[in-house]
């Protein structure tokens, strides 16, 4: 690192090429995204070709010398930047001084559904990236095999989604962009029961746990934060299921409802096994 030149201008072409990844259109064009902090760098390094470039401040480079060395050893370009440039790149209030440019991670739907999946999460019309990232993290924790973002959902590579996923974006296969008309049949062809989670569901999560149907390989479809799932998707699902509301709340927030559903499946599948 001794002879490294520090980039101090946000107009440097290299910095500009990273900075533009804050926009979805450029992410899709380059098939790259930004992930901040030592955990993200570690996760990206663990995947072959996962880490494309590493930006670091001098301070972070000495604090995380192990990661910077590992990146250099893996032939990943390491770029030293000023604190000012990092602040521009990092999109967070208190940048951690390390920023990874990562290769897109998503896999084709067929690959994600190969190998007899037991638990799959589908995000349909989910618009808030923080919610999406939290569901991704909960899916990972509950042992899901993959997470599908339909064409009408937020971009999983959005900075807020990446942060909220707390590393889980790197942990399990992610699929982006399928339309529900091809997705739902593909899920069913993979042996999955398709459950649409919706407050308007006629059966509750407890009903399905009681009759044993939650133990089946399942794809959960979660919908929009405000209005749930469109009628077409509810009609295509094997069941429309609601989390029972025992108190006076009108509903649960999306991520907590998803976590309750996914963990109910995980428990039913393990108890019946």
Question: Contact positions toward a copy of itself, by CB under 8 A?
Answer: 134, 137-144, 164, 166-168, 171-172, 206, 209, 243-253, 255-260, 263-264, 266-267, 270
Q: Rounded to the nearest whole angstrom, what is the least distance from the CB of residue 162 to a copy of itself in the complex?
A: 14
H helix intervals, the chain:
13-19, 24-30, 38-46, 58-63, 65-73, 83-90, 109-112, 129-141, 159-165, 180-189, 205-210, 231-236, 254-272
- Of 43 and 106, nearer to a copy of itself (C-beta) is 43
Q: Is 43 helix (H, G, I), strand (E, B) or coil?
A: helix
Rounded Cα gap, residues 208 and 103, in angstroms: 39
Q: Rounded to the nearest whole angstrom, what is the least distance from the CB of residue 267 to a copy of itself in the complex?
A: 6
- Of 196 and 255, nearer to a copy of itself (C-beta) is 255
Under DSSP, the state recorded for 35 is E
- Of 30 and 225, nearer to a copy of itself (C-beta) is 225
Q: Rounded to the nearest whole angstrom, what is the least distance from the CB of residue 244 to a copy of itself in the complex?
A: 8
Rounded Cα gap, residues 122 and 140, in angstroms: 13
Q: Rounded to the nearest whole angstrom, what is the least distance from the CB of residue 4 to a copy of itself in the complex?
A: 32
* Other Cβ atoms within 10 Å of 149 Cβ, number: 25
- Of 21 and 169, nearer to a copy of itself (C-beta) is 169
- Of 3 and 247, nearer to a copy of itself (C-beta) is 247
Q: Rounded to the nearest whole angstrom, what is the least distance from the CB of residue 63 to a copy of itself in the complex?
A: 18
Q: Rounded to the nearest whole angstrom, what is the least distance from the CB of residue 136 to a copy of itself in the complex?
A: 9
47: CB partners within 8 A, 6+ apart: 105, 170
Task: Give the 3-state secondary structure of 219-250.
Answer: EEEECECCCECCHHHHHHCCEEEECCCCCCCC
- Of 114 and 251, nearer to a copy of itself (C-beta) is 251
Region of 125 please: left (phi>0), alpha (psi -120 to 50) or beta. Answer: left
């Amino acid at each position: 690192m001794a002879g490294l030149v520090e980039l101090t201008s946000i107009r440097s072409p290299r910095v500009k090429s990273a900075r533009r990844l804050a926009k979805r259109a450029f992410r899709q064009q380059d098939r790259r995204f930004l992930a901040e902090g030592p955990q993200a760098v570690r996760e990206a390094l663990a995947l072959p070709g996962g880490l494309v470039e590493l930006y670091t401040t001098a301070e972070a480079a000495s604090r995380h010398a192990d990661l910077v060395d590992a990146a250099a050893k893996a032939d990943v370009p390491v770029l030293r930047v000023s604190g000012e440039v990092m602040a521009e790149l990092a999109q967070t209030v208190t940048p951690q001084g390390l920023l990874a440019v990562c290769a897109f991670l998503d896999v084709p739907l067929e690959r994600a559904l190969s190998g007899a999946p037991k638990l799959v999460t589908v995000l349909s019309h989910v618009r808030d990236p923080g919610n999406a990232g939290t569901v991704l993290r909960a899916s990972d924790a509950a042992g899901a095999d993959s997470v599908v973002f339909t064409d009408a959902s937020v971009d999983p590579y959005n900075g807020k989604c990446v942060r909220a996923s707390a590393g889980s974006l790197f942990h399990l296969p992610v699929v982006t962009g399928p339309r529900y008309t091809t997705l739902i049949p593909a899920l069913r062809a993979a042996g999955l029961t398709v459950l649409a989670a919706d407050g308007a569901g006629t059966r509750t999560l407890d009903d399905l746990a009681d009759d044993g149907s939650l133990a089946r390989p399942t794809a959960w479809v979660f919908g929009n934060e405000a209005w749930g799932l469109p009628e077409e998707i509810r009609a295509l699902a094997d069941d429309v299921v609601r989390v029972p509301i025992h108190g006076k709340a009108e509903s649960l927030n999306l991520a907590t409802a998803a976590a309750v559903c996914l963990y109910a499946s995980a428990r039913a599948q393990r108890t019946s096994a």
